[in-house]
Amino acid sequence: MSENNDKRLFLVDAYAMIFRGYYALIRSPRITSSGMDTSAIFGFTNSLIELIRRQKPTQLAVVFDVGKTNVRTEDFADYKANRSDTPEAIQLAIPYIHRILQAMHIPILGVEGYEADDVIGTIACKAEKQGYTVYMVTPDKDFAQLVTPNIKIYKPGLKGAEFEILGVEEVQAKYGIKDPKQVIDFLAMMGDAVDNIPGLEGVGEKTATKFLQQYGSLENLLEHTHELKGKLKEKVENSAERGRMSKRLATIICDVPVDFEHEKYDLETPDFEQVRQVFDEIEFRRLYETLYRAFSEDKVSTGAEVLEPAKEGATQLDLFSSFDDLEQATSQKASLDSSQTLYQLIDNSTAVKALVKTLLEKDSVCFDTETTSLNELEAQLVGISFSYRKGLAYYVPIPTKLEQRSQTLELLRPFFESTKVEKVAHNLKYDYKVLYMHGVQVQEPYFDTMIAHYLLNPDGRHGMDYLAQMHLNYEPISLESLIGKKGKGQGLFNELPLETQRDYSCEDADITFQLYELFRPELEKSELLTLFKEVEMPLLQVLAGMELRGVQLDRGWLEKESKDLESDLKALEEKVFSLSGETFNLNSPKQLGDILFERLGLDPKAKKTKSGQYATSEDILQKLSAAHPVIEPILEYRTYQKLKSTYVDALPLQIDAHDSRVHTNFSQTTAATGRLSSLNPNLQNIPIRTLRGQQIRGAFVASRGHRIISADYSQIELRLIAEIAKEQSMIEAFLKGEDIHASTASKLFNVPLQEVSKLQRSQAKTVNFGIIYGQGAFGLSQQTGLSRSEAKSMIDAYFATYPNLKSWMANQVEEARQKGYVQTLLGRRRYLKDINSRNFVVRGHAERNAVNAPIQGSAADLIKMAMIRIDRLFNEKNLKTEMLLQVHDELVFESPLDEIETASLLIKTQMEEVYETKVPLLVEVGVGKNWLEAH
């Protein structure tokens, strides 16, 4: 293994890698059955094994910080202070990682009193002298200073991203410098927040780069400060000493008392049995197979070849089913490659026909489309892959020429339009829309693996590459590595060689099919299959329809409003400048804060945000409005600026040139409660509160001969709370048709309903609202301006009025503790792993979610059901009315004039009768030429 001409030493920066692994998984951490967070261990170990598998180091060691690091702390007491609050999961991880490394026979290094950086630096230098090529394995940019022709940085790829190797040239290019050593000067000038290196005052990345090009080093800069001008000159001169200290802090020490004993670092075969024991303990199942493979694959002997981030051919897609036990693996070693996957190109009509015939005999078939664009409306089909068995997939290229393309699609049509075969895909709505634009309408039954995972784990991430790694322990070819990063230089999928297209696409279909096999039984086990089949899958098609349809905007009005706002803003800006006696960028909260609190000294105890800036949010400014006349125009400026930039100017840019309509995208897998979310553009946050904001809704217009119908559930969440918690007095209020906030106030303040004051009603409303959003006592005081204890007693009074509500809430929390999750009316789950946390902030959050998720989620369930039924009835009755938008408790339609009454009634009835409840569900319907009038 260790030929002389191949001496490649990898030094792993342990803590940096552990942190990185931990944060990479922070959104869906790995938790064992006993509740231990093993994300950090997994992240680290996975990267390490990946490194061994792909790079085949000859020498390898892992370096930790040991004991107190006092060499630098003498210099600057705060050094690395920011790192002290290490998460619990990381502290817990260290002993396990040590055990794993020992079992793998990988040396653990560390020198008391020195940073791991310094140990790595020292060993790297020594190894270089002995003819080694050294790779420092770390995401930390500080190491760039050590780079030489034989010492490089190996930056592992994060989740699907490729790894990076930084040699001299890369470092030069990245920092715009001649010598990697200048990285020290660079850090000394700009500072580094993570390591608490202060840097020079007023110098950031840009300025530091400029200085380096001009002066070459910190010292030289400090000698020439007289050449600088203005504020910057002053700041740099004042912080010169700080700069020199920063340079000492940033310098990695290369004379740590440690030797490089190369024979100890030879990469040896692990003690598999021992590794397995540790893995078993922390419930790592698939990682063991990866480890075994890393050591059983053919060794590659020349460094240069291995280090090219080359793609492995798709034929090497490993299927670890055959690695279930060690013996089998041993006997198969090195020969498993092409035997287990078959990715076939289907490029003539005879073969396509045969394929479709086969597909039509299957119960479930997975497919994946490849296109030229992420925008479904303009995407051209390039190819489609199919898979119905693990390891097996077919790729059908779709010709560019119209005639041949239609021919191919006609051959495929029977499959897509079959009502027997279940069509499996990841993010099926995308494929549905693309095919729809090509004249093919994919029919139910559907199985979207992305949505399946969303139901199984609504808080997690649902991307295919990510799921492949988590559930199949497999890293797919990244599209980016084939066609380049997003932006100008990005290539098109159809320009790739056919074999590459085939391998990439088949792999996706194959993986999706494997995910399907995994998730389907899981859905069943969690009793989510009905929700999935009856609600989410049918909804997919409804949403696709809404997105394809889009909504018409009044471009002329928006353009005029933009000009009006522009001139209003100009006037306000001048007013602010003259009142404050200074001109600055009003859009910069940072500059605004400085002016208000430094120059005008408005509030000596001004609040700061956590990054040290002055907070200038609306509620803070509002309190100051009496203190200075400048505040009022600032607030007004803010409001208008927001309207202009976010809506008036942004919306016209999203108008599609083909049909002059805006096509938003509804995400069915983003909000953990079960709500939808809308993006590109977000049409769920169009203003309504203020008069001028409202006008924007007027720009959402019905097309000629049509009207907008808006239908909104009145107080659906409160009604559901009353229903689910069986809160009798609240139910009665709804039955009597009372104003619920007034009714709450009447009970809360013990006054007759007729005598409830405005303030009382508004306070009751805030409490009701707080319950819905699970805000708790703490948020309430913020919202109302009441003191903490006043808010507290208000909530006590609230619970005294609604005792069943209180006990229902307590019940939810209890249920979450026992089962680990809470449920909506339709069985949608939200897992709350923090419900037993010892940290009361974290636990409190989970507890509020235990109450909030079933309410918000149930409301989401109901409106989703209503959408499906309305859509079906429109089709059955052949109505031309079309659903355009959903805004959580509101549906917006576009209806031909002669259908308005029929459609309105149908909509209202379906929404109100969507689910049988004791509390009546009330829907308010409005009609108008635009969304504003319809409200």
Partner DNA sequence: AAGCAGCA
Partner DNA sequence: TGCTGCTT
Among 593, 633, 854, 857, binds DNA (CB under 7 A): 593
- Which listed range, 253-261, 570-578, 677-685, 719-727, lies at the site for DNA (CB under 7 A)? 677-685
Question: Is residue 191 close enough to count as binding DNA by CB under 7 A?
Answer: no
Question: Is residue 613 close enough to count as binding DNA by CB under 7 A?
Answer: yes
Smallest separation, CB 870 to DNA (Å): 18
Exposed/middle/buried for 13, CB within 10 Å: 0-12, 13-18, 19+?
buried
Q: b vs e for 460-497, b when ≥16 Cβ sit within 10 Å of the residue's Cβ?
A: bbbbbbbbbbbbbbbbbbbeebbbeeeeeeeeebbebe
Smallest separation, CB 463 to DNA (Å): 14
Phi, psi of 522 (to 5 degrees): -65, -40
Question: Is residue 375 close enough to count as binding DNA by CB under 7 A?
Answer: no
- Which listed range, 176-184, 361-369, 535-543, 638-646, lies at the site for DNA (CB under 7 A)? 638-646
Q: How many angstroms from the chain centroid is the CA of residue 128? A: 41
Question: Is residue 172 close enough to count as binding DNA by CB under 7 A?
Answer: no
CA distance 757 to 204: 55
Question: Is residue 214 close enough to count as binding DNA by CB under 7 A?
Answer: no
Smallest separation, CB 565 to DNA (Å): 12
Question: Is residue 848 close enough to count as binding DNA by CB under 7 A?
Answer: yes
Smallest separation, CB 786 to DNA (Å): 16
Question: Is residue 685 close enough to count as binding DNA by CB under 7 A?
Answer: yes
CB atoms within 10 A of CB 441: 12
Q: In the complex with DNA, which residue's Cβ is closer, 285 or 840?
A: 840
Among 616, 744, 904, 930, binds DNA (CB under 7 A): 616
Question: Is residue 390 close enough to count as binding DNA by CB under 7 A?
Answer: no
Smallest separation, CB 210 to DNA (Å): 18
Phi, psi of 678 (to 5 degrees): -125, 135
Q: In the complex with DNA, which residue's Cβ is closer, 179 or 201?
A: 201
Among 81, 492, 571, 650, binds DNA (CB under 7 A): 650
Smallest separation, CB 69 to DNA (Å): 25
CA distance 123 to 408: 61
Smallest separation, CB 426 to DNA (Å): 18
CA distance 175 to 249: 19
Among 306, 518, 615, 922, binds DNA (CB under 7 A): 615
Total count of residues recorded for the chain: 935
Question: Is residue 618 close enough to count as binding DNA by CB under 7 A?
Answer: yes
* Residue 217 DSSP label: S
Verify cis geometry, omega within 30 degrees of 0, for the bond prior to 156: no
- DSSP helix/strand/coil, 870: helix
Contact 830, 673 (CB under 8 A): yes
Contact 822, 850 (CB under 8 A): yes
Question: Is residue 888 close enough to count as binding DNA by CB under 7 A?
Answer: yes
Contacts 24+ apart (CB under 8 A), 757-766: 763/794, 765/741
Q: Which of 641, 622, 640, 642 is nearest to 632 (CA)?
A: 622
Smallest separation, CB 675 to DNA (Å): 7
Sign of CA dihedral 70, 75, 81, 82: negative
Write down the residue that tokens 């002053």 correspond to. Answer: 234
Question: Is residue 482 close enough to count as binding DNA by CB under 7 A?
Answer: no
Question: Is residue 689 close enough to count as binding DNA by CB under 7 A?
Answer: yes
Exposed/middle/buried for 861, CB within 10 Å: 0-12, 13-18, 19+?
buried
Question: Is residue 688 close enough to count as binding DNA by CB under 7 A?
Answer: yes
Question: Is residue 774 close enough to count as binding DNA by CB under 7 A?
Answer: yes
Q: In the complex with DNA, which residue's Cβ is closer, 591 or 729?
A: 591
CA distance 749 to 770: 18
Question: Is residue 611 close enough to count as binding DNA by CB under 7 A?
Answer: yes
Q: In the complex with DNA, which residue's Cβ is closer, 378 or 517?
A: 378
Question: Is residue 326 close enough to count as binding DNA by CB under 7 A?
Answer: no
Verify cis geometry, omega within 30 degrees of 0, for the bond prior to 198: no
Question: Is residue 762 close enough to count as binding DNA by CB under 7 A?
Answer: no
Question: Is residue 642 close enough to count as binding DNA by CB under 7 A?
Answer: yes
Write down the residue that tokens 């909804």 correspond to. Answer: 539
Q: In the complex with DNA, which residue's Cβ is closer, 476 or 633?
A: 633
CA distance 910 to 887: 17
CA distance 506 to 344: 8
Among 530, 609, 728, 875, binds DNA (CB under 7 A): 609
Among 871, 889, 894, 899, binds DNA (CB under 7 A): 889
Q: In the complex with DNA, which residue's Cβ is closer, 147 or 851?
A: 851
Applying CB under 7 A, the residues found at the interface with DNA are: 585, 587-591, 593, 609-611, 613, 615-618, 621, 638-639, 642, 645-646, 649-650, 667, 670-673, 677-682, 684-690, 693, 773-776, 778-779, 845, 848-849, 852, 887-890
